[in-house]
A = this chain, B = another copy of it.
Amino acid sequence: MAIHHAAPAEVFDVGPLGAALENSKTKVLVKTDTLEMIRIVLPAGKQLPPHRVEGEITVQCLEGCMAFNAGGSEHELAAGQMLYLAGGETHALRGITDSSLLVTILLR
């Protein structure tokens, strides 16, 4: 089955999944030559090990709570909080509660 990515001007949801979070999977929402947007489902206790991408990224907590590690520091992100990182910076994530986040990557 072809994966559907949003087209320009197509409205898509990034609201809290609520009860549906438990059975939801990480999904690429947008993919163009210069921009990628991913909704990551991050259950409590799950770790995304250290990794990095070439371009800048923004990370927005959509629901729940997570620990974000970058530059030797840990930052807690709750729903409605976000941060950005310069390109090439190593970072890691861990779900504190069941959570989901929106990651926007600037491709170069």
Residues of A within 8 A of B (CB): 6, 8-16, 30, 32, 34-35, 37, 55-56, 58, 60, 68, 70-71, 73, 75-77, 79-86, 89, 104, 106
Question: How many copies of this chain are found per oligomer?
Answer: 2
The interface residues of chain B lying within 8 Å CB-to-CB of A11 are 75-77, 81-83
B37 contacts A6, C-beta separation under 8 Å: no
- Which among A6, A10, A58 has the greatest number of chain B C-beta atoms within 10 A? A58
B9 contacts A81, C-beta separation under 8 Å: no
B35 contacts A84, C-beta separation under 8 Å: yes
Smallest CB–CB gap between A92 and chain B, Å? Answer: 12
The interface residues of chain B lying within 8 Å CB-to-CB of A55 are 34
